[in-house]
Amino acid sequence: MPGDYMLLNQGQIAVEYWEGQITYDMLMANELAISSDPDIQKGSIYLVDMRKATTDVTMEQVREIADVTIHGEYGIRYSKAAIVCTENLTFTQSQMYELSVCQHGLSIITFTSLPIACRWLNVDIDMIERAIGKLQHHLLPHAPHSVDEKKVIKVL
């Protein structure tokens, strides 16, 4: 799986990392997992790093994923969200997602720069970069992917 997330500061910050080609099924499975994660706190900050990712999901599929965000088990729990991506199509799709969910109270912006996104979210970039590094390591082909390890990475 080319994507995963982890929680920091007792669920006050969620960091999600993606790389490689991402399918609709991967994005939807991840969104379902996040939207039903009881450890994510109301009012939390959410950063998605898609700088090394590409996707060819349709705009209709983007709206379906946004619907899960909006109408998930716990509703929208983030006060602010930033998506960082550099590939043109992924950036455009991210902006469509942004438009779909911002109407429901989520402050979300798509960025091309991680430092600027962190500044907007008011989070420490070093902490975010360490989290992304751990997620990158976790996604390596040789890294173990047991359920227990997933729980450990989720609560760091």
Q: Mind listing the pLDDT tens digit for each residue in 57-78?
A: 999 999 999 888 888 777 778 8
- Distance CA(149)–CA(120), nearest Å, equals 31
- Confidence (pLDDT) at 115: 98
CATH of the domain spanning 3-154, picked from 3.20.20.80, 3.40.50.1820, 3.30.750.24, 3.90.1150.10: 3.30.750.24
Residue 154, phi then psi, degrees to nearest 5: -65, -35
- Confidence (pLDDT) at 146: 38
- Distance CA(94)–CA(135), nearest Å, equals 21
The structural domains of the chain, with segments of one domain joined by +, span 3-154
Task: Tell me the pLDDT tens digit for each residue of 138-151.
Answer: 876 654 443 334 43
pTM for the structure as a whole: 0.85
Q: For residues 6-23, give the mean pLDDT.
A: 94
